[in-house]
Chains A and B, each alone.
Chain A
Amino acid sequence: MNLGKGHIEIAGVAKSYDGFTYAVHGVNLKIPDGAYCCILGPSGCGKTTILRMVAGHEDPTVGEILIGGENVVGLPPVERRTAMMFQSYALFPHLTVRDNIAFALRVRGLSKTERYAKTDAMIEKVRMTEFSDRLPAQLSGGQQQRVALARAAITEPRVLLLDEPLSALDEHLRIRMRAELRRMQRELGITFVHVTHTQLEAIALADMVVVMENGKIKQSGPAREIYAAPKDRYVAEFLGGQNVLSGKVGKINGTRAMIASPEIAGIQIPMHAGARLEAGQAIDIAVRRDDVELFREDTALSDQDMASVPATILGIEYQGNFVKVMLDAAGEAEFVAYVPERRFFENPFKVGDSVLAAWLIDRAHLLA
């Protein structure tokens, strides 16, 4: 086996704190060396537990965790060569920026000159040189994050674990620091595992996104795949950007199937190669919000490749580069169309208008 030193494999891991309920259960995951991996899920889904088990701050109840091909369960963090960046950073309040970053070298017994030489290079890397004598309380949120990153990186870890690293920052800063995280990951060339509950953060940063629910992994893969081809209703709804419709399969006709259930009766769905459907089977389909087009209700759709449902406009939100139109359609709690700004204002709709929401049949995506 030739696994990179920062390759992580989580095999059959479960964690229970009380012996009855499981915080995570049956988790299998491989994260390639040098990847930026985001674990995404709502609070309480077990994502932080996984991170802490990889870090060595918790032990799995069952299962194995391998880093670089070696089982690390039971090893302390230093021996795993992992480093963690804590939520709200946990910078030592009594130490200056330099001493915070030098901490790991100090406990390793390096002399003051040695450790400061190394530390100053790292401070330079995170562009904090002019602040190196400050205390954490004298830094802004973004600066604190850089210090936390430098403090973790100075141990030369093969894996850096980040627990909600951006949640303490305001919206504006979050986007800036997001880019900085990605830059640092590229520079350090090590595996990053980043836990977050924000979909946008995950898909913007990650090579690999892992979606979790109730202690289990729902789907993992490249960001684009997760976003564009969610496996099921949960992933589609959690990632957002998709409308999910439910129905029963009616007539099957070559590469297309007709839906027969009351809410969306008559619309057609694509049958990709290998897809197996039977008449009467209950299914969910996902349609991207930006694939939905709106037409006046009296429009006769001539295109054979379009599917459509009647809808009423519940609300309109201007988003700058597009307009978010909320619809009452297909019996779904949420059905949204993202209409490009220019197109919308050519012939604007009002709240209460009856419309047809239509999309190209082949753009619809079948969910499990």
Chain B
Amino acid sequence: MAQSAAFKRNLAGWAYVAPLVVVLIPFFVLPLIAVVAASFFETDGFGGLFPAFNLDNYTEILTSGLTFNLYYETIKFTVLTWFFSLLIGFFVAYFLVFHVRNQLLALGLFLLCTVPFWTSNIIRMISWIPLLGKEGLVNEALLKLGLIDQPLEFLLFSSFAVVVAYVHQLTIFMIVPIFNAMGRIDKRVVEAALDAGASRFDIMRLIIVPLSKSGIALGSIFVISIVMGDFFVVKVMSGGGSASVVGAFYENISVLQYPTAAASAVLLTIILVITVGLIIRFVDIRKEITR
């Protein structure tokens, strides 16, 4: 009887998630397998793929100095974006949760932060052009103030611009989960710590940060996976000065080098899986989310 109850429960569970699985298998699992398979295939150079078990694609990308450079650039952007979005996101959430007295106002300000998330990322990215360009507002202002006598070149179409665009787009992915996690912190815990003589810094280090861990982890997963999987921002905002792993992947695809592209994608996915896996080991996000 207990067994049949468990069976019924499992059946009901699967019935509910069946539509999700029906979408994810052909549009996530199989494509991933296809890419992995393609990474071992041979090509005629005109888009034709021939089943094979060929490790040449991997040796090619692993021995190429270009690969190292690509990964270096991508990881550099990932780390910088992660750092700045976490820094800003954490303190914005902290401000809203612990410093805004009126709860309704805090919620309103929070929503204000999220609105741009619902608008086009591409538009938000190109909107930096009139600001950061050679004749953009920032340079104009600095020139007028006499702080510089020549327009700063590094503002647009540079690594700087790439990081700015990423942080601009992705900080919201830090704010939302951290805001959620902090919102669940019982304010009396903080009061108890104050009563025990903890300083502002102690409270931050010993209470707020540990209790916001799940939010930080979730936000980090979002930011890291989006930056590592992106090529568009790097392509436009670096002005061609920087490349990215997925950018190279895209170039390879457009010249029909599917197997090389696939091998590179597999490598990237492995790195991504390891990173996300490490974060998940650190925090059980399933428990945190469904709580």
Give chain A's interface residues, CB within 8 Å of chain B: 16, 19, 59, 61
Contacts and interface: CB of A to CB of B under 8 A. Distances in A.
Contacts of B1: 59, 61
Interface residues of B, number: 2
Interface of B: 1-2
Contacts of A59: 1
A61 B2 CA distance: 8
5 contacts: A16-B2, A19-B2, A59-B1, A61-B1, A61-B2
Contacts of A61: 1-2
Contacts of A19: 2
A59 B2 CA distance: 10
Nearest to A19: B2
B77 to A, nearest CB: 46
Nearest to A16: B2
A23 to B, nearest CB: 13
A75 to B, nearest CB: 16
A319 B174 CA distance: 56
A290 B123 CA distance: 82
A16 B3 CA distance: 12
Nearest to A62: B1
B14 to A, nearest CB: 21
B12 to A, nearest CB: 16
Nearest to B2: A19
Contacts of B2: 16, 19, 61
Nearest to B1: A61
A213 B116 CA distance: 58
B56 to A, nearest CB: 54
A59 B1 CA distance: 10
B86 to A, nearest CB: 37
A253 to B, nearest CB: 57
A143 to B, nearest CB: 26
B81 to A, nearest CB: 41
A41 B1 CA distance: 29
Nearest to B3: A19
Nearest to A18: B2
Nearest to B6: A19
Contacts of A16: 2
A16 B2 CA distance: 9
B169 to A, nearest CB: 37
A13 B2 CA distance: 15
A59 B5 CA distance: 10
Q: Which 5 A-B pairs have the closest CB atoms?
A: A19-B2, A61-B1, A61-B2, A16-B2, A59-B1
B5 to A, nearest CB: 8
A231 B60 CA distance: 85
A19 B1 CA distance: 10
A56 to B, nearest CB: 15
A143 B290 CA distance: 32
B25 to A, nearest CB: 33
A222 B2 CA distance: 36
A151 B125 CA distance: 56
A16 B1 CA distance: 11
A19 B2 CA distance: 7
B7 to A, nearest CB: 14
